[in-house]
Structure 1
Amino acid sequence: MTDNVTFRDLAGKSVFITGGGSGIGAALTDGFLAQGAKVAFVGRSDASAFCDEMEQKHGGNRPHFMQCDITDIPALKKCITQAGEHHGPISVLVNNAANDARHSADEVDEKFWEFMLDVNLKAYFFAAQAVVDGMREHGGGSIINFSSISYMMGNAGYPLYTMANSGINGLTRSLAREFGSDHIRVNALAPGWVLTQKQKDMWVTEEGLNAHIARQCLPDPLAPEDIVDGVLFLASKSSKAMTGQALVIDGGVVVTG
């Protein structure tokens, strides 16, 4: 994680992250723990070893891991309840987990359609729904929905993923309006091509990466750690007047505004 920014108001905050044990999510867990926050996260795979590592690194501040398939909405809501019981009312929700499986339009059947929308959009809505009452009772909170620049670029190769990410922006704006009177802020964060281990194992080729970096204004590939400070900013009071927005961290591929 980066260590150049401290958001003092995040110390002691109860944070819930989906997919917080690997890739960008693991960097986020690390980053929030470094701020002194109390982190709970869910993931499909066992993350006990990662929790051990984080506990040792952060002086006994161990993240609370719950194994969960976020497409199982009752299970996801149960984990959110347990996180609140373990760390206190959730102040920050980070909807990070996603699936960018490559596919063509011709390959899509109804089952795959439902799965991709369940993991990439439906879980985001119901996680937000599950935390909002607690945030209202405690005077506000921050919800951060991960999107992607892929839909802004009009990328082919995963149309259901780009559709869901476009939908996340619409959801973010509507929830920001609906929850704003209770001082609950809702923002989206759209990373560029972040070179997680999964991306390296499954999708990165030298030719493809070089072509993408050529589209960036900045000539360096993105790592998970490059996303952390943007999320911490959206979670903290430093962004207390910011809601309904999409923060892009992509090295300068797309242009907003």
Structure 2
Amino acid sequence: MQHATYPSLANKHVVITGGGTGIGVAIVEAFARQGAQVTFLDIASEASQALEAQLADLPQPPRFRYCDLTDLTALVDTFTDIENTSGAADILVNNAANDDRHQLQNVTPAYWDERIAVNLRHQYFCAQAVAPAMRAKRSGVILNLGSISWHLAQANLSIYMTAKAGIEGLTHGLARDLGADGIRVNCIIPGAVRTPRQERLWHTPEAEAVILQGQCLQTRVEPHDVAALALFLASDNAAKCTGREYFVDAGWYGA
């Protein structure tokens, strides 16, 4: 897909979490093709290195950094090293997540903590890591990735939905706390995005029929649709957009 061009994104330093797979791949490529300086974090080394190779011919190819975001010491060290070697982030895209299914009777305290760490906690601490430099420049953008799941009350995702609902609260709080320093914070809420993982694990032909039946638009949401919204919200064209949720879900209200 060819995205609109946003001149304000050229040469901006964009840090993207979970950039090596799924929606993250499309977001990494979209920002890199805007001429942004892209650093992306992931634990999927093989896929991330393949993405690096795929985009190596761009004038400013994206750079992969291995980082387990559930390890807060590693998270802080990684962001410190990125700032020291590549410069401060102008834009942070908090994309990393994992939507493993679970049932109430099987959840242990350890599993709860691990799911919250994977899906919510790191968004706060990534924002904390980039905020000082953004405040010093009195500008910056933080985009948090939420989920349609809790708006639809989907089954076997109670912890994931709790985390994703929390991300919207986090977005509101950060937008208020950072707005006086010129930093914008928004939440992107994807619908049923057709990624390789979703197609492999959950989106059977039967499930796809249910999704399409519940959507106003009878077409699947693709990763590049989410990336298109991220580009706009990160650009100066969205200069007065902050503290809000923006859906890219084809109008999915459930079946």
Question: Counterpart in 1 of 2:125?
Answer: 126
1:245 aligns with 244
Structure 1 residue aligned with 2:89: 90
Query: In the TM superposition, what are the counterparts of 1:126-205 in structure 2 within 5 Å?
Result: 126-205=125-204
Task: State the Cα distance separating 1:161 from its structure 2 match.
Answer: 0.3
Cα–Cα, structure 1 residues 85 and 221, in superposed 2: closer, same or farther, change >3 Å?
Answer: same
CA drift at 1:68: 1.2
- The whole-number CA distance in structure 2 between the counterparts of 1:174 and 1:205 is 37
Deviation at 1:63, TM superposition (A): 1.3
Does the 8 A contact of 1:213 with 1:220 survive in 2? yes
Structure 1 vs Structure 2 CA RMSD: 1.2
CA displacement at 1:144 relative to structure 2: 0.3
Q: Is contact 1:16–1:83 with CA below 8 Å preserved after alignment?
A: no
Report SS of the residue matched to 2:180: helix
The residue identity in structure 1 corresponding to 2:9 is L
Paired position in structure 2 for 1:35: 34
C-alpha offsets along residues 58-84 of structure 1, whole Å, 9 cap, x if unaligned?
24x221211111101111122222222
Q: State the distance in 1 between where 2:95 and 2:115 align.
A: 14
Distance (whole Å) between structure 2 residues aligned to residue 229 and residue 35 of structure 1: 11
Q: Which amino acid aligns with 2:127?
A: A
The percent identity for this pair of structures is: 39
**Which residue number corresponds to residue 49 of structure 1?**
50
For 1:162 and 1:40, locate their aligned partners in 2 and report how far apart those are by CA, in whole Å.
28
Quote the Cα distance in structure 2 between the aligned partners of 1:130 and 1:74: 11
Distance 1:24 1:251 in 2: 16
Instruction: Tell me how far 1:133 sits from its aligned partner.
Output: 0.2
- 1:110 is aligned to 109
**Cα-to-partner distance string for 1:28-69 (whole Å, 9 max, x where unaligned):** 00000000000001111212221011112x24x221211111
What displacement does 1:85 show? 2.7
**Does the 8 Å contact 2:141/2:185 carry over to 1?**
yes
Report the Cα offset of residue 108 of structure 1.
0.7
Residue 20 (structure 2) aligns with = 21
Q: Residue in 2 aligned with 1:79?
A: 78
Q: Give the distance between the partners of 2:116 and 2:107, measured in 1 at CA.
A: 12
User: Any gaps of 5 or more consecutive residues in structure 1?
Assistant: none
Partner amino acid for 1:35?
A: Q
Offset from partner CA, 1:134-186 (integer Å, 9 cap, x none):
10111210000000010011111110000100000001001100000000111
1:91 to partner: Cα distance: 0.5
Deviates more, 1:97-106 or 1:83-92: 83-92
**Which amino acid in structure 1 is aligned with residue 5 of structure 2?**
T
User: What are the equivalent positions in structure 2 for 1:1-20 lying under 5 Å apart?
Assistant: 2-20=1-19
Q: How does 1:202-213 map to 2 (within 5 A)?
A: 202-213=201-212
SS at match of 1:55: coil
Other structure's SS at 1:182 match? coil
Q: Is the 8 A contact 2:3 2:30 kept in 1?
A: no
Q: Deviations over 1:164-221 (max 9, x none)?
A: 0000000100110000000011100000010100111111111111011111011111
2:52 maps to a residue whose letter is C
Distance 1:81 1:162 in 2: 31
> Which secondary structure state, in structure 2, belongs to the residue aligned with residue 220 of structure 1?
coil
Q: Is the 8 A contact 1:19 1:41 kept in 2?
A: yes
SS in 1 for 2:55: helix
- 1:254, 1:158 → 2: CA distance? 17
